[in-house]
Amino acid sequence: MTNQIANSQLSFGKKDAPVKVEVFLNLTCPYCATFFGIAEDVLQNYLENGQVEFIVKHYDKPREMLLNGTLINLFLDYSNPLRVKNILKELFATQGEWDQLNNQEIKKLIAEKYQLKEEPENTEISLKVTAEAIARDVKMVPTVFVNEKEYQFPTELTAGELKASIEEELAK
């Protein structure tokens, strides 16, 4: 499988890697925070060895508990994926400190702590990711695809299962 992945603004690793790990997530989702941590640990060597491309798709799913993640997504600078990845890591780690803030408090946090401003093109990116999620029948976050194999919450993907799934794809 070497085809280009849609909506790969936040892509890490080689584009021609044989295994594609895609995740639809939202910053406010605690299960997404767990998966992101697992992915950070498990994928590191695969990314360095050119075996995996990791694609993060922020899904602005219209659900009340996810709205703060959607708001933050409007400010992420997709032209700098590595910085966005580090911001995601930090925001997931501190989720309990900001997930109940109101809109103005979120905007202030993002502006002051990360010097981010609203990115006009992110609305279009969000709409494309949403359309893809609908087309692929992604109902929940996190939903993970390892090549075409789907893992959708509430089935949590453990570190061991993620590694086994990648190894299975590499063996093909």
The pLDDT assigned to 3 comes to 57
The pLDDT assigned to 42 comes to 97
Fold of domain 10-163:
Glutaredoxin (3.40.30)
Give average pLDDT by consecutive 10-residue segment, the chain, 172 residues.
77 96 96 95 97 97 93 96 97 95 96 96 96 95 95 82 95 93
Number of other residues whose CB lies within 10 A of the CB of residue 58: 28
Burial class (CB in 10 A: 0-12, 13-18, 19+), 96: exposed
d(CA 81, CA 84): 5
The pLDDT assigned to 27 comes to 97
Q: Let me know how many helices (H) and strands (E) the chain has, helices first.
A: 7, 5
**Contact status, residue 32 vs residue 26, Cβ threshold 8 Å:** yes
